[in-house]
Structure 1
Amino acid sequence: MRDTVPAGESAMSIPRWRSLLFVPAHVPRFVEAAHERGADGVILDLEDSVPQDRKGEARRQLPESVAKVGRRGASVLVRVNRGLRALAADLDAAVMAGVEALVLPKTESAEWVSEIANAVSDLERERNLPGRIRFLAQIETPAALQRLAAIASAHPRMVAMALGPEDFSAAVGGAPESDLLLTPNLSVLFAARAAGLLPLGFIGSIGEFSDTHKLREAATRARRLGFAGALAIHPTQVAIFNEAFSPSAQELEWARCILAAEKDAAAHGRGAFAFDGKMVDPPVIRRAREIIATGPEAGGGESSAAVSETKLDHTTGGPLTRP
């Protein structure tokens, strides 16, 4: 039986997640500094980055950790484990006020998403919480790739999808390189957009953080392809993603001009018009509106490229977290 979401859930707006920073939930110094990194969201990780013998500790610290990482307004997400026993303990710890979404690793079926949704709804009802926790599904196997449409539309709690490039590459016996990752990333992109979800990711290894030029190129390309943001495993990636997944000043000016010209054309009874030597019709106008909607004028915020890198922990390298 499919769970239903309480009234108002389906009307929730899609968040703006240009950057989601993984933070190991068992490391206090990383949790303490996470709110300074400038990420749109922070993922408190209970999965791969937390040793088995530290998971209980990480769960017990979650209430305090959630409050700390969200103190400057970032979305707070929690990545849970895949195994049933660990997942049950994770959900019991993570379903609380202040947690906006759960990251579901190794998602392979719509049925799995629905089962987790049922459990989350039970916990929310028991705790008198509104039904507002959303799901970000990580696609990490070829089997999941064959079920993308079903996963994307599995439940109203679904809000985003992302390919796990390292795990996916390992699952097919390959290396996380662009030749291998282009098709699965585009498949995730298309399925997410078709279901009205946020597509997150870029074509390449998420472990790439030392070569900032290469990372910036990959993120910029991802936005041109249609991705809305990306998951970060290191603080140095955050500012790059925030900038790459935000419209440039030139794009914003173009969009303003297009919308002004559209207004003038409508006043003269024209549905399509020429601008700068090119034909402008409804798809172009829609693109202009989307650009404005993701810019600072719409409350999207400025790029966090100005976040000082002196704040980053260059000694320890920051919270490297395996996605």
Structure 2
Amino acid sequence: MNPEYLMRSLMFVPAHNERLMDSASRSSADVLLLDIEDSVQPVENKQVARENIIKYVKNGQFRDRVLFPRVNDRESGELLKDVYQLTIQGITGFMYPKARKGEDIYFIGKLLETIEYEKGFPNGTFKLIPLIETAGAVMNIQDICTACPNRVVAVAFGCEDFITDLGGQHDTEGESIFTARAMIAMGAKANGVVPIDTVHIKVHDLDDLENNLILSKKLGFEGMLILNPKELPLCHRYYSPSSDQVSWAEDMIRLSGEAIAQGKGVALKDNKFIGPPMVKMAK
């Protein structure tokens, strides 16, 4: 499922912190992940976070923004309160953390279906972004992507919890998470779901961020989880087509159309064949 909104940048915002919520409302992030999970402690603050989200949505501070609150997982005791209170007009969907297998996503999908029915929303109104944070989730990526076809619009990689679960170690070259990143991107693309890359933990090292974005694009990711607004300009540049890429794509489509009109199977550009895969990429 391809969403009808950009997902180049998905920025975490601790929803119990009104100063950060105010700042996020003015940011250029494509998606705001209003957090009720890990960054919201102690547990009493989770209800503060829910009430803040409702208040900010209803007073119009997040008007026309794409909002995916990150809820708590199904074993937390907080999930029902999260989704029941926040299934309101203005919320696009939910980021679901610690998804281990398709059954987790099926569970929250059915929970949302019941709440939608009770509140009078059409089935499938609220979308899902599963967060892939364990070795098991990486291995089950296709099941997670297909567990709720009318809800799962993207999957996102959480490298910190993944490395902990794996018992691995971070390295400056990113070798420890390379295989997981590749598997998540391939699993998502194989099922028409948008792959979102992990956070860049060195938030003040923009050179390192740029290196990560170059690799991320090569692997097929279409967006990234963001911790700091200063990362947004680079993120948007790399996940948007350049003017040269747009010109190349227009040439591919034009030359392919001319070849078809002339009864030819392929066209040539710069002494290179233009075949169906290149045309598909151009489109």
**Quick one: which of 140, 144, 152 aligns to 2:137?**
144
1:183 deviation in Å? 0.2
Contact 2:200 2:209 (8 Å CA) reproduced: no
**Residue 93 of structure 2 is aligned to residue 97 of structure 1:** no
Q: Distance in 2 between matches of 1:212 and 1:259?
A: 35
Contact 2:131 2:158 (8 Å CA) reproduced: yes
Inter-CA distance 41–152: structure 2 relative to 1 (3 Å threshold)? same
**Residue 184 of structure 2 is aligned to residue 188 of structure 1:** yes
What corresponds to 1:127 in structure 2?
119
1:233 deviation in Å? 1.1
Q: Distance in 1 between matches of 2:170 and 2:146?
A: 27
Inter-CA distance 88–186: structure 2 relative to 1 (3 Å threshold)? same
Contact 1:21 1:41 (8 Å CA) reproduced: yes
SS at structure 1 position matched to 2:12:
strand
* Number of residue pairs matched by the alignment: 276
1:53 deviation in Å? 2.4
Q: Distance in 2 between matches of 1:176 and 1:248?
A: 32
Q: Distance in 2 between matches of 1:218 and 1:231?
A: 12
Amino acid at match of 1:186: A
What corresponds to 1:27 in structure 2?
17
Contact 2:3 2:153 (8 Å CA) reproduced: no
Identical aligned residues as a percent: 29
**Residue 55 of structure 2 is aligned to residue 54 of structure 1:** no
Q: Per chain length, whose mean CA-contact separation is higher, i.e. which structure has more relative contact order (CA < 8 Å, sep 6+)?
A: 1
Amino acid at match of 1:76: L
Contact 1:18 1:242 (8 Å CA) reproduced: yes
Q: What root-mean-square deviation, in Å, do the aligned CA atoms of Structure 1 and Structure 2 show? A: 1.6
The 4+ residue runs of structure 1 with deviation greater than 3 A are 12-15, 66-69
Task: Note the 1:152-301 alignment, pairs <5 A.
Answer: 152-156=145-149, 157-177=151-171, 178-201=174-197, 206-289=200-283
Q: Distance in 2 between matches of 1:277 and 1:70?
A: 51
**Quick one: which of 58, 71, 74 aligns to 2:65?**
74
1:48 deviation in Å? 0.6
Q: Distance in 1 between matches of 2:202 and 2:239?
A: 17
SS at structure 1 position matched to 2:213:
helix
Q: CA offsets per residue over residues 47-74 of structure 1, 9 Å max, x none? A: 0110122111111222123355532x33
**Residue 39 of structure 2 is aligned to residue 43 of structure 1:** no
Q: CA offsets per residue over residues 112-158 of structure 1, 9 Å max, x none? A: 11111111111111111223111101111112122111111111211
**TM-score for the superposition, normalised by structure 2:** 0.92
Amino acid at match of 2:97: P
SS at structure 1 position matched to 2:189:
helix
Q: Distance in 2 between matches of 1:66 and 1:49?
A: 20
Q: CA offsets per residue over residues 20-46 of structure 1, 9 Å max, x none? A: 111010011111121322111111000
Task: Name stretches of at least 5 consecutive residues in structure 1 with no aligned partner.
Answer: 1-9, 290-323
Q: Distance in 2 between matches of 1:44 and 1:109?
A: 24
